[in-house]
Amino acid sequence: SMQSLLEENFTDKIIHTYRDDPDLQNFIDFAQQKFRCCGLSSEGYIDWSKNEYFNCSSPSVEHCGVPFSCCINATDLSSRLVNIMCGYGVQNLSVAEASKRVWTSGCIEIVRSWAERNLYTIAGIALGVALSQLFVIYLAKTLEGQIDL
């Protein structure tokens, strides 16, 4: 299926380069917070063990952890400060224990089901953009025909 193809081809690459590419890191953090997910594949938060910083054998302080964007309560509501250490050590916990601190489901499945629920909206926006582009092309061709050389 499309989902398993995405999981196989992108999970390792995206998880591996998370800290190396700031744009990708910001995108992953945004997606994990927006969709309340952690990791990409059906393994969920365990995907982060494939990252050199979050791997349990890493000497980093983040070993056996996940990014703060996986945390259920990363932001303190009173101070508006983000606890970037809230995901530390989560990979050592059972799924039941981890689910009290972080989102445990992978993002691909959650984004897929979101897209399914919003299919008509997404299709409508895509059609609107395509039609407006065609209209602009029509106007450009009309203008081109009116230009005398």
The DSSP string of 127-138 is HHHHHHHHHHHH
Top pLDDT among 89 and 8 is at 89
Q: Provide the pLDDT for residue 147.
A: 87
- Tell me which residue range forms the domain holding 75: 2-117
Give residue-wise pLDDT tens across range 33-75. Answer: 999 999 998 899 999 999 999 999 999 899 999 999 999 988 7
The DSSP string of 18-74 is TTT-HHHHHHHHHHHHHHT--SSSTTGGGGGGGSTTTSTT--STTTT---GGGBTT-
Torsions phi, psi of 82, nearest 5?
A: -95, 130
Q: What is the mean pLDDT of residues 109-126?
A: 94
Q: Is 66 in the same domain as 48?
A: yes
Q: Is 40 in the same domain as 74?
A: yes
Give residue-wise pLDDT tens across range 2-12. Answer: 767 777 778 88
With 80 as the cut, is the pLDDT of residue 79 above it?
A: no
Q: Is 70 in the same domain as 80?
A: yes
Q: Is 45 in the same domain as 16?
A: yes
Q: Which two tokens stand for residue 143?
A: 């203008």
Q: Is 47 in the same domain as 113?
A: yes
End-to-end CA distance of the chain: 55
Domain at 58, CATH number: 1.10.1450.10
What is the rounded CA–CA span in Å between residue 59 and residue 56? 8
